[in-house]
Amino acid sequence: EKDGYDHFMQKEIAEQPRAYRDTMLGRIDKETKGVVLPELNMTLEDIHQIQQIQMVACGTAYHAALVGKAVIERMTRIPVEIDVASEYRYRQPVIRENTLVIAVSQSGETADTLAAMREAKLCGARVMAVTNVVGSSVAREADDVLYTMAGPEIAVASTKAYTSQLIALYLFAIYVSQSLNTMDAMTRMELLSTMEKLPEQVEGMLEDTRTIQRIAGELADRNHLFFIGRGLDYMVAMEASLKLKEISYIHSEAYAAGELKHGSLALIEDGTPVIAIATQEALLEKTISNIKEVKARGAYVIGVALEGNMEMAKTADEVIYIPRTDALLTSTLSVVPLQLLAYYAALARGNDVDKPRNLAKSVTVE
């Protein structure tokens, strides 16, 4: 059932191009070059009534929701709040009738996420689920369901479910923006055709993983490291850090690149690995200066940058390149080599990659 792969995680990373395609399938109209989501019950009028959006999710799904929040706000100008699902209820969130709550959950059975969405429903919110499992509790209880088409995910560490959540949330953001006319048609068409190229670009990245394997080998005997990034890169940094922790057991932290100097820079010593994600070219100069700050303290810097980025080649010790795409979409590409990095680091440490210690695939307790 692993189809010739050594581990489910490896197989699921490799399945991502298909998962991207399936999640987009039938949802991009060839003629109008717009997004169609007939499975949603919400009408155009319902969409116009949304005053605010709140997102709830846990772990990796929360990291996907962070990207969702950023793109929904940018494309639709609807304010989006986001909570880790286990915290949502206890902060007494302000929920109104025109609040849309989006619960993101691969399994659709996560107790914390279910509890958060039940609370939202009680307070009168409309709830939309983004889930991978048809008929799951989250899907049954939500007013609207947007399915990710990742297929069954067996490895505890989520990979293709996360990237499919990204794709689904991008489609939803575009869908709302086209309903509200907050994005011009040209921009939308270009964005959608750029999205359609992503599966092929991921395939390209998966062809040769030798650089990543070599870097993973170098990181395997370290005890702690940092991930830094700005904007969407920071959100991917959080996900990459979680992935590395949960399967390799190497301690890592993700920081907004500009935040490190406000305290944690004190932890950088000679040889401390820092993985710097810098795919947001508008923010590049600032991130490069943050990289120089850590380099000056002896850090061993691994950059993740867009192909052809010469600045990074000059500044970092190692560079992992990803293909060029729209600045809003880079998260769907930059996370892939970092999933592989976690995978190979865990392998090098002799860990049970698919079943890391202390963790379960579906967390049904609060």
Active site residue 314: no
Q: Using the rule CB under 6 A, is 241 a contact of ligand F6R? A: no
Work out whether the CA dihedral 290, 294, 296, 297 comes out positive or negative.
positive
Here's the x/- map for ligand F6R, 62-101, by CB under 6 A: it reads as ----------------------------------------
Contacts of 248 (CB under 8 A, 6+ apart): 219, 220, 342, 345, 346, 349, 351
- Smallest distance from ligand F6R to CB 12, Å: 11
Task: Tell me if residue 319 falls in helix, strand or coil.
Answer: strand
60 makes contact with ligand F6R (CB under 6 A): yes
Closest separation in Å from C-beta 140 to ligand F6R: 15
Q: For helices 160-180 and 185-196, what crossing angle results, to 10°? A: 160
- Interacting stretch for ligand F6R, rule CB under 6 A, among 52-60, 140-148, 310-318, 330-338? 52-60
Nearer residue to ligand F6R within complex by CB, 63 or 188: 63
Residues 104 to 163 in contact with ligand F6R, rule: CB under 6 A: 105-107, 110, 113, 157-158
* Residue 363 in contact with ligand F6R, rule: CB under 6 A: yes
Q: What are phi and psi of 221, to 5 degrees?
A: -100, 15
For the chain, strand residue ranges (E) read 52-57, 80-84, 99-105, 126-131, 144-147, 224-229, 251-256, 273-278, 300-306, 318-322
Both structure tokens of 220: 């395997």
Binding-site member from 19, 28, 55, 58 for ligand F6R (CB under 6 A):
58
CB of 305 to ligand F6R, least distance (A): 25
**288 and 320 Cβ atoms separated by less than 8 Å:** no
CB 15 → ligand F6R: shortest distance, Å? Answer: 15
Q: Which residues are catalytic?
A: 361
Q: Binding residues for ligand F6R, per CB under 6 A?
A: 58-61, 105-107, 110, 113, 157-158, 242, 246, 362-363
